C-alpha cells in the first residue's frame, strides 16, 4: 500500500512539474493544482496510512493522527483561494496585455495563427 | 555616568541643534558648542586619576549573551583623543559659522557634525570592542553624509561614495577581526583583550585576526594602497576636511593601532605589515603632495604622508617610537587643522584653490598669511615649532631599526627623503600662495582678510604650535605621558621633551631635509617636468570603472536569472530542489523502513491506477485545455476517495466540495482564454522538461516511501485525549481547527478573505471579451440556460442548504464543520448561477458577499474575544449542553460561534471570487449596470 501511495504521489508530482514548466498560464495553473494534490496527500500521509481509524472519538478502537488532517483541511481551502487568485491574475493579464504567456515573450500569436497550427498539430 | 553622557550629548545636540537654525548661524553655532563644553567639564574631574595612570570604567549590561555591553573606558590615550575631538570640534564650530553661507542648510550641517563628534567619541571611549565597532561604522556613515554635504556636486557625491566604499569595506574586515579576537580571548571587553596579548599572539589565528584588524585601520587612516579616497574626500566643505580628514576620523585607524598595541604589536608580522605600509604611504603621500595644484589636494596628500609616518612609528615596535607616534598625533592634528582652515579662508576670499592662480596674497591678507606660515613651518619641521620635535624623534627612531644588512639604511633614507618632500611642499604652500608675483585672474578680486572671528581658531592653533614647540614639557608633557603610558600598557621609556638634544645624526637629517627641500622647491620646474612625463593615474576613474563593472556584472547575472519568464524561475526552483536533495536521496536509495509494506487491496489499486493514468493524461493532453480540465477533475475526485479510504472523512468531504468549486472556477476562466495551447517549444526542450519532471517525481516517491514505512511519534495524543473532555467535541480534526489551533484557523480564513477581496479588486474595472468560439471552429451555443438543469437546481437549493446546516451543526462531533458546510452552501449557490445565469441569481441574492466575509471574520474574532471578557486567553472556548424538546440533549460550544465565522467567510470568499470572474464579460457587465440603475 505504501509503495502504491508513494508511486501515486510521484506520478502526480511528475505530471505537475511538467505542466509547471509550460509557457502559458493555463497549463501552469493545472500543473500547480496537480502539485498541490501531491503535496496535500504527502502532508496527510505523515500521519501514516490507516484504515478505518478516523479520529472521531468513540467511533473505532484506535485513531489515526488528527493533526496532519487538520493541517491539510485548511491547506485544501487555502489552496483553492490561491488557485483562484492565480487564475484571476492570469485573466487580468489577458485583459490588459491580450496575452497569456508566462515565458517572458509577449506575443499576440494565440488567436488565428495558433488555430491553424493546432489543426496541423492534430 | 559621566562617560556615557559624554558620548550621548553630541547626539542629543544633533537633535536639538537644527531647532536653532531659524535663529541664524550664530545661534546654531552657540547651541552646537554646548555638548562639547559640558563634555569637557565632565571629563575634567577624571584628570587626576588618569595622570597617575588610572582607568575610569562605566559599564551597563546590554546584550550579555552576545558579549555586548554598554561599557565605556577612559584612560590617557582615550583622553588625548577625546580632547582633540572636543577642542578642535569647538574651533571647527566657530570656523564653520563664518565659512558657511547663510542660505546653506546650516541645521543639517551642524547636526551631522555633532553626530560625527558623538560617533568619534564613542570609538575612543568604548570599552567593548563590538560597541566600538558600531561607532566606527557610524563615523563612516556620517563622514559619507558630510563629504556629500553639497549634494548638487557630482564630484562630492562620487568622493563620498568612494570614501564610504573603502572605509565601509575596511569596517567589515575589522568586524571580522574583532570577532576573531573576541573568540580567542573569550571577551570583547578591552581590559580582558589587552591583558590577553600573549594568548592572542600565540594563537594560530593571530595572523588572520591581525590582517583583518589592520585592514580596518589602514582603510580608515588612508594607508597605501587605500589612500586614494582621502584626496577625493576633499570635495567636502573645508571645516569637514579640517575636522574629519586631518584631525580626527583619519586618526581613528591610528587610534585603533594604539589601542590594541599591547594586544597585537611586538611580532614580526606586525613589524613588517605596519612599518612597510607606513613607509610606502609616507613617501608616496609626500611625493604626490608636491605636484598638486589644488591647495586642499596638497594638504590631503600631506595628511596621507603624515598618517604614514605615524603608522611607521607604530610599526617599528619600540616603545620610544610609540611615544613619538602619540606625540605626532597631537602635533599633526594641531598644525594640519589650522592649515586646512587657512586654506578654507583663502578659498573663501579668492573663490579658487588653484595655486597657479593664487599668488602674492601677502599684500592682501598679511594676518592670515602669518598664521599659515607658522603652521606650514611646523609641517615642514622647522625648529621651535611642534612639528620639529616629533619629526626629530621620528628621525632618531628610524636609525634604531635593526633591519638586516643594507636594509638598515632604508628607513632613515626614506625618512629623510620624505622630510625633503615635506619641506618642499610646505615651501610651495607658503611661497606660491603668499608671494611669487601677483594673483592671476581671481574670481573674487581684490581678496581681503576674512571676518575677525573666522581667524580665531587658526590663531589658537598656530599659538599652540609655538607653545608646544618651545615649551613642550609644560604644555603637553603630562598629557603625552598619560597617553603614552596607556598605549604601552604601563611602563613608559625615558624620553626628554627638549628643543635640541645636541648635535647628532637626527639633527643632521633635519638639516639635510630642510635645505634639500628648499633646493628642491627652487628647482621645482625640473621636477614638474619630470613628473609630467608620467601619466597620472586618476584613482577616481579607476574606482568608478571597477564599481561600474561590478554593477554591470551584477545586472547581467540578475537579468539572466530574472528574465521575466516564469518558466525560467520554475525551472531554477525545481532544478535547485532536485540538486540539493539529490545526494541524500541517492545515498538513501529505495529505503523501506521498519514498518514494512502493507498489502494492497483491489479497489484501492484500481483507484490508484485511475488517478495515475488521469494525472499523466492531464499532462500529455494538456494542449486541449478542456480535456485536461476534465481529466484533472477526475484526479481530484480520486484524491477525495483516497482521503476517505485512509481514515480522513473530513478531508474527503472538503476535497470533494473544493474540487467542484475549483473545476467551476477553471471552467469559467477557460471561457475567456484560448482553448488550445499551441506547441511553442522544441522537442529537445520538452524532452528535457519530461526528464526533470520524472526526476522530481522519482524523488517524491522515494521520500514518501521512506517516510511511510518509518515508525513515528506524534504530539496528537494530547489532542485525542483532550478533545472530548477539553473541547467538548468528538471530531478531533474539527476541535483542533476551532479550538486547539483556533488562532491558526483565524489566520487562514483571513488569508481566504484577503485573496477573495484581491480577486474582486483585480477584476473590478476589467472587461474581457471571450473568444468567439471554442477555438476549433465551433461557435458558442446560443441556447439559453438548459431547462432541465434549471428545474432540478432550484428545488435542490433548500435541500442543499439544509444539508449544509446539518453538516455544520454536527461538525463538532461528526465529520463536518464550518469549512465543509460553507463549501457545500457555495456549491449549491454556484449551481444556481450555472443553471439560471448571473443576472437571475444576482437579483435574488439579497446580500453582498463582501459583507458576508466581513461578518464571518467578525464572528470569529468576537468568539475569540469573548473569552477575554471572562479573563481567559484569546480564543478559549467553553461548552455546555441544553435539551431541546424534539432533538433531545444538544451540545452548545462557544467554538460554534467561531465555526460560524469560518462558515460565513468561506461562502463569502468563494462566491465573491467566482462571481467576480463571471461578471468579467462585457455582456454581463452591461447587465449588472442596468441592475444598479
pLDDT digits (tens, 9 = 90+) for B212-255: 999 999 999 999 889 889 998 998 999 999 998 888 899 999 99
Q: What is the pLDDT of residue B681?
A: 81
Q: Please tell me which residue, B506 or B94, carries the higher pLDDT value.
A: B94
Among A6, A55, A100, beta carbon nearest to B674 = A100
**Dist. CA B319–CA B120, nearest whole Å:** 26
Residue B684 DSSP SS3: helix
Average pLDDT over residues B766-781: 75
CB spacing of B714 vs A104 below 8 angstroms: no
Least confident segment among B367-381, B534-548, B713-727? B534-548
Rounded to a whole number of angstroms, the distance from the CA of B541 to the nearest CA of chain A is 37
Q: What is the pLDDT of residue B48?
A: 87
Among A17, A59, A88, beta carbon nearest to B917 = A88
Set of chain A residues whose Cβ sits within 8 Å of the Cβ of B756: 81, 84
Average pLDDT over residues B484-505: 80
Inter-residue contact B902 to B738 (CB < 8 Å): yes
Peptide bond before B225: cis, by omega within 30 degrees of 0? yes
Q: What is the pLDDT of residue B891?
A: 67
Set of chain B residues whose Cβ sits within 8 Å of the Cβ of A3: 597, 705
Q: What is the pLDDT of residue B928?
A: 47
Expressed as residue numbers, the domain containing A42 is: 2-121
In a domain, B866, yes or no: yes
Phi, psi of B888 (to 5 degrees): 100, -155
B254 and B364, same domain (yes or no) = no
Q: Give the C-alpha distances (Å, rounded to integers) separating B4 from B10, B74, B116, B190, B449.
A: 11, 11, 16, 16, 42
Set of chain B residues whose Cβ sits within 8 Å of the Cβ of A99: none
Among A2, A23, A54, beta carbon nearest to B597 = A2
B153 and B72, same domain (yes or no) = yes
What whole-number percentage of chain B has pLDDT above 70? 97
Flag whether residue B576 sits within 8 Å of chain A, measured between CB atoms.
Answer: no
Inter-residue contact B241 to B234 (CB < 8 Å): yes
Enumerate the β-bridge partners of residue B881. Answer: B891
Inter-residue contact B808 to B817 (CB < 8 Å): yes
Q: What is the pLDDT of residue B920?
A: 79
CB spacing of B566 vs A28 below 8 angstroms: yes
Inter-residue contact B194 to B57 (CB < 8 Å): no
CB within 8 Å of chain A, chain B residues 430-459: none
Set of chain A residues whose Cβ sits within 8 Å of the Cβ of B707: 45-46
Per-residue pLDDT of chain A (122 residues; tens, 9 = 90+): 889 999 999 999 999 999 999 988 899 999 999 999 999 999 999 988 888 888 888 888 888 999 999 999 989 989 999 999 999 999 988 888 888 888 777 654 444 344 333 333 33
Among A2, A22, A30, beta carbon nearest to B709 = A2
B839-894 pLDDT per residue, tens = 888 888 888 899 999 999 999 998 888 777 777 777 777 777 777 666 666 667 77
Per-residue pLDDT band for B499 (boundaries 50, 70, 90) equals confident
B802 and B893, same domain (yes or no) = yes
User: For B637, how many CA atoms within 13 A lie in the half-sphere containing its CB?
Assistant: 11
CB spacing of B647 vs A54 below 8 angstroms: yes
Flag whether residue B588 sits within 8 Å of chain A, measured between CB atoms.
Answer: no
In a domain, B33, yes or no: yes
CB spacing of B696 vs A13 below 8 angstroms: yes
In a domain, B255, yes or no: yes
Q: What is the pLDDT of residue B504?
A: 83
Set of chain A residues whose Cβ sits within 8 Å of the Cβ of B917: 87-88, 91
Flag whether residue B647 sits within 8 Å of chain A, measured between CB atoms.
Answer: yes
Res. B747: pLDDT tops 70: yes
Set of chain A residues whose Cβ sits within 8 Å of the Cβ of B699: 10, 13
Q: What is the pLDDT of residue B901?
A: 92
Secondary structure (DSSP) of B912-926: HHHHHHHTTSHHHHH
| Chain mean pLDDT for chain B | 88
B705-720 pLDDT per residue, tens = 999 998 888 888 888 8
Average pLDDT over residues B148-164: 91
Rounded to a whole number of angstroms, the distance from the CA of A60 to the nearest CA of chain B is 11
B515 and B542, same domain (yes or no) = no
Flag whether residue B572 sits within 8 Å of chain A, measured between CB atoms.
Answer: no
Inter-residue contact B53 to B76 (CB < 8 Å): yes
B506 and B537, same domain (yes or no) = no
User: For B528, how many CA atoms within 13 A lie in the half-sphere containing its CB?
Assistant: 12
Flag whether residue B904 sits within 8 Å of chain A, measured between CB atoms.
Answer: no
CB spacing of B655 vs A76 below 8 angstroms: yes
Among B571, B608, B654, beta carbon nearest to A8 = B608
Chain A interface disruption, residue of B596, B597, B615, B758, most A CBs within 10 A: B615
All cell numbers assigned to B351: 573663490
Peptide bond before B142: cis, by omega within 30 degrees of 0? no
Highest mean pLDDT among B460-469, B588-597, B835-844: B460-469
| Minimum Cα–Cα distance from B649: chain A residue | A54
Set of chain B residues whose Cβ sits within 8 Å of the Cβ of A61: none
All cell numbers assigned to A22: 509550460
Set of chain A residues whose Cβ sits within 8 Å of the Cβ of B612: 7-8, 11-12
**Dist. CA B558–CA B584, nearest whole Å:** 30
Q: What is the pLDDT of residue B701?
A: 93
Among A23, A49, A73, beta carbon nearest to B651 = A73
- What is the ipTM score, two decimals? 0.88
Inter-residue contact B835 to B794 (CB < 8 Å): yes
Set of chain B residues whose Cβ sits within 8 Å of the Cβ of A120: none
Res. B159: pLDDT tops 50: yes
Helix axes B683-708, A2-20, angle to 10 degrees: 150
B512 and B555, same domain (yes or no) = no
| The pairing of beta strand B56-63 with beta strand B68-74 | antiparallel
0.90 exceeded by pTM: no
Set of chain B residues whose Cβ sits within 8 Å of the Cβ of A9: 700-701, 704
Set of chain B residues whose Cβ sits within 8 Å of the Cβ of A2: 597-598, 705, 708-709
Q: Please tell me which residue, B15 or A103, carries the higher pLDDT value.
A: B15
Phi, psi of B837 (to 5 degrees): 95, 160
The secondary structure element, H or E, covering residue B69 is strand B68-74
Average pLDDT over residues B831-836: 88
B316 and B460, same domain (yes or no) = yes
Expressed as residue numbers, the domain containing B894 is: 731-933
Flag whether residue B341 sits within 8 Å of chain A, measured between CB atoms.
Answer: no
Least confident segment among B251-255, B379-383, B400-404, B734-738? B400-404
CB spacing of A49 vs B920 below 8 angstroms: no
In a domain, B200, yes or no: no
CB spacing of B678 vs A74 below 8 angstroms: no
B609-623 pLDDT per residue, tens = 999 999 999 999 998
CB spacing of A78 vs B629 below 8 angstroms: no
Peptide bond before B446: cis, by omega within 30 degrees of 0? yes
B243 and B388, same domain (yes or no) = no
> Domain total for chain A?
1
**Dist. CA B143–CA B174, nearest whole Å:** 18
Q: What is the pLDDT of residue B598?
A: 86
B246 and B283, same domain (yes or no) = no
Rounded to a whole number of angstroms, the distance from the CA of B86 to the nearest CA of chain A is 60
B452 and B536, same domain (yes or no) = no
Res. B31: pLDDT tops 50: yes
CA B323 to mean position of chain CA atoms = 39
The 8-class DSSP code of residue B871 comes to T
In a domain, B606, yes or no: no
B253 and B285, same domain (yes or no) = no
Q: Please tell me which residue, B14 or A113, carries the higher pLDDT value.
A: B14
Rounded to a whole number of angstroms, the distance from the CA of A4 to the nearest CA of chain B is 7
Average pLDDT over residues B178-199: 92
**Dist. CA B748–CA B777, nearest whole Å:** 44
> Domain total for chain B?
4
CB spacing of B708 vs A6 below 8 angstroms: yes
The secondary structure element, H or E, covering residue B553 is helix B539-561
B533 and B515, same domain (yes or no) = no
Q: What is the pLDDT of residue B826?
A: 93
**Dist. CA B18–CA B110, nearest whole Å:** 7
Amino acid at each position: 500500500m505504501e509503495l502504491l501511495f508513494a508511486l501515486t504521489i510521484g506520478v502526480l508530482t511528475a505530471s505537475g512539474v511538467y505542466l509547471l514548466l509550460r509557457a502559458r498560464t493555463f497549463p501552469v495553473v493545472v500543473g500547480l493544482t496537480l502539485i498541490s494534490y501531491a503535496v496535500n496527500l504527502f502532508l496527510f500521509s505523515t500521519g501514516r496510512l490507516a484504515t478505518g481509524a478516523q479520529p472521531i472519538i468513540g467511533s473505532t478502537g484506535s485513531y489515526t493522527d488528527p493533526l496532519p488532517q487538520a493541517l491539510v483541511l485548511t491547506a485544501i481551502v487555502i489552496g483553492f483561494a490561491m488557485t483562484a487568485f492565480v487564475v484571476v491574475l492570469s485573466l487580468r493579464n489577458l485583459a490588459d496585455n491580450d496575452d497569456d504567456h508566462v515565458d517572458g515573450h509577449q506575443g499576440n500569436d494565440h488567436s488565428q495563427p495558433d488555430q491553424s497550427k493546432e489543426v496541423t498539430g492534430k | 555616568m559621566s562617560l556615557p553622557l559624554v558620548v550621548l550629548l553630541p547626539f542629543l545636540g544633533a537633535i536639538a541643534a537644527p531647532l536653532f537654525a531659524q535663529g541664524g548661524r550664530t545661534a546654531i553655532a552657540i547651541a552646537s558648542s554646548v555638548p562639547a563644553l559640558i563634555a569637557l567639564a565632565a571629563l575634567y574631574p577624571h584628570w587626576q586619576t588618569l595622570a597617575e595612570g588610572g582607568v575610569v570604567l562605566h559599564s551597563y549590561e546590554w546584550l550579555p549573551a552576545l558579549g555586548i555591553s554598554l561599557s565605556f573606558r577612559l584612560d590617557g590615550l582615550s583622553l588625548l583623543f577625546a580632547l582633540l575631538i572636543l577642542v578642535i570640534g569647538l574651533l571647527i564650530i566657530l570656523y564653520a559659522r563664518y565659512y558657511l553661507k547663510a542660505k546653506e542648510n546650516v541645521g543639517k550641517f551642524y547636526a551631522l557634525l555633532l553626530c560625527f563628534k558623538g560617533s568619534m567619541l564613542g570609538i575612543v571611549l568604548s570599552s567593548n570592542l563590538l560597541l566600538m565597532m558600531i561607532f566606527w561604522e557610524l563615523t563612516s556613515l556620517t563622514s559619507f553624509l558630510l563629504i556629500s554635504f553639497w549634494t548638487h556636486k557630482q564630484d562630492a557625491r562620487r568622493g563620498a561614495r568612494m570614501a564610504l566604499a573603502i572605509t565601509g569595506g575596511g569596517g567589515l574586515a575589522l568586524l571580522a577581526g574583532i570577532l576573531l579576537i573576541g573568540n580567542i580571548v573569550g571577551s570583547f571587553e578591552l581590559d580582558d583583550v589587552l591583558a590577553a596579548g600573549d594568548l592572542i599572539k600565540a594563537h594560530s589565528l593571530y595572523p588572520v585576526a591581525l590582517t583583518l584588524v589592520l585592514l580596518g585601520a589602514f582603510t580608515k587612516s588612508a594607508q597605501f594602497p587605500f589612500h586614494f579616497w582621502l584626496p577625493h574626500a576633499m570635495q567636502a566643505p573645508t571645516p569637514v576636511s579640517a575636522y574629519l580628514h586631518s584631525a580626527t576620523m583619519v586618526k581613528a585607524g591610528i587610534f585603533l593601532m594604539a589601542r590594541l598595541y599591547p594586544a597585537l604589536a611586538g611580532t614580526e608580522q606586525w613589524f613588517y605589515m605596519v612599518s612597510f605600509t607606513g613607509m610606502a604611504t609616507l613617501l608616496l603621500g609626500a611625493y604626490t603632495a608636491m605636484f598638486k595644484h589644488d591647495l586642499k589636494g596638497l594638504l590631503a596628500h600631506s595628511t596621507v604622508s603624515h598618517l604614514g609616518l605615524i603608522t611607521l612609528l607604530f610599526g617599528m615596535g619600540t616603545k620610544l617610537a610609540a611615544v613619538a607616534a602619540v606625540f605626532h598625533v597631537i602635533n599633526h592634528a594641531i598644525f594640519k587643522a589650522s592649515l586646512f582652515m587657512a586654506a578654507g579662508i583663502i578659498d573663501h576670499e579668492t573663490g579658487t584653490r588653484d595655486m597657479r592662480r593664487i599668488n602674492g596674497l601677502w599684500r592682501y591678507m598679511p594676518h592670515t598669511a602669518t598664521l599659515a606660515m607658522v603652521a606650514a613651518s611646523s609641517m615642514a619641521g622647522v625648529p621651535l615649532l611642534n612639528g620639529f620635535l616629533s619629526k626629530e624623534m621620528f628621525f632618531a627612531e628610524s636609525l634604531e631599526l635593526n633591519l638586516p644588512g643594507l636594509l638598515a639604511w632604508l628607513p632613515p633614507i626614506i625618512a629623510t627623503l620624505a622630510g625633503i618632500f615635506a619641506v618642499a611642499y610646505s615651501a610651495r604652500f607658503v611661497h606660491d600662495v603668499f608671494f611669487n608675483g601677483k594673483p592671476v585672474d581671481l574670481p573674487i578680486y581684490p581678496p581681503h582678510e576674512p571676518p575677525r572671528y573666522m581667524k580665531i581658531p587658526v590663531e589658537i592653533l598656530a599659538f599652540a604650535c609655538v607653545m608646544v614647540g618651545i615649551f613642550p614639557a609644560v604644555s603637553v608633557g603630562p598629557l603625552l605621558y598619560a597617553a603614552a603610558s596607556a598605549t604601552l600598557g604601563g611602563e613608559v621609556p625615558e624620553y626628554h621633551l627638549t628643543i635640541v638634544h645636541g648635535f647628532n645624526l637626527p639633527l643632521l637629517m633635519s638639516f639635510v631635509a630642510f635645505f634639500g627641500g628648499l633646493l628642491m622647491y627652487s628647482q621645482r620646474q625640473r621636477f614638474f617636468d619630470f613628473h609630467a612625463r608620467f601619466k597620472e593615474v586618476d584613482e577616481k576613474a579607476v574606482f568608478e570603472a571597477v564599481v561600474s563593472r561590478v554593477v554591470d556584472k551584477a545586472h547581467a547575472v540578475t537579468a539572466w536569472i530574472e528574465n521575466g519568464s516564469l518558466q525560467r524561475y520554475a525551472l531554477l526552483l525545481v532544478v535547485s530542489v532536485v540538486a540539493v536533495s539529490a545526494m541524500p536521496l541517492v545515498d538513501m536509495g529505495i529505503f523501506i523502513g521498519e514498518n514494512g509494506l502493507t498489502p494492497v487491496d483491489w479497489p484501492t489499486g484500481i483507484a490508484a491506477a485511475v488517478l495515475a493514468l488521469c494525472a499523466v493524461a492531464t499532462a500529455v493532453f494538456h494542449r486541449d485545455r478542456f480535456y485536461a480540465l476534465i481529466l484533472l477533475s477526475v484526479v481530484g475526485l480520486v484524491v477525495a476517495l483516497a482521503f476517505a479510504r485512509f481514515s480522513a472523512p473530513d478531508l474527503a468531504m472538503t476535497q470533494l466540495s473544493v474540487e467542484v468549486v475549483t473545476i467551476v472556477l477553471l471552467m469559467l476562466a477557460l471561457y475567456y482564454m484560448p482553448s488550445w495551447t499551441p506547441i511553442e517549444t522544441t522537442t529537445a526542450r520538452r524532452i528535457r522538461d519530461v526528464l526533470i519532471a520524472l526526476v522530481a517525481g522519482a524523488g517524491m516517491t522515494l521520500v514518501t516511501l521512506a517516510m511511510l514505512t518509518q515508525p513515528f511519534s506524534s504530539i496528537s495524543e494530547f489532542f485525542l485525549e483532550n478533545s472530548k473532555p477539553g473541547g467538548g467535541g468528538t471530531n478531533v480534526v474539527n476541535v483542533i481547527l476551532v479550538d486547539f489551533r483556533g488562532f491558526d484557523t483565524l489566520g487562514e480564513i483571513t488569508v481566504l478573505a484577503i485573496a477573495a477581496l484581491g480577486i474582486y479588486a483585480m477584476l473590478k474595472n476589467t472587461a474581457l471579451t471571450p473568444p468567439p468560439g471554442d477555438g476549433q471552429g465551433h461557435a458558442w451555443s446560443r441556447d439559453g440556460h438548459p431547462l432541465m438543469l434549471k428545474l432540478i437546481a432550484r428545488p435542490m437549493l433548500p435541500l442543499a442548504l439544509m444539508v449544509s446546516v446539518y453538516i455544520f451543526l454536527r461538525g463538532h462531533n461528526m465529520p463536518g464543520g464550518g469549512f465543509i458546510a460553507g463549501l457545500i452552501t457555495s456549491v449549491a449557490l454556484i449551481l444556481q448561477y450555472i443553471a439560471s445565469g448571473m443576472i437571475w441569481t444576482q437579483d435574488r441574492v439579497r446580500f453582498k458577499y463582501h459583507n458576508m466575509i466581513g461578518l464571518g471574520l467578525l464572528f470569529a474574532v468576537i468568539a475569540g474575544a469573548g473569552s477575554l471578557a471572562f479573563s481567559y486567553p484569546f480564543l478559549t472556548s467553553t461548552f455546555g449542553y441544553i435539551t431541546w424538546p424534539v432533538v433531545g440533549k444538544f451540545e452548545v460550544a462557544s467554538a460554534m460561534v467561531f465555526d460560524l465565522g469560518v462558515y460565513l467567510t468561506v461562502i463569502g470568499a468563494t462566491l465573491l471570487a467566482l462571481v467576480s470572474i463571471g461578471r468579467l464579460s462585457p455582456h454581463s457587465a452591461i447587465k449588472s449596470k442596468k441592475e444598479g440603475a
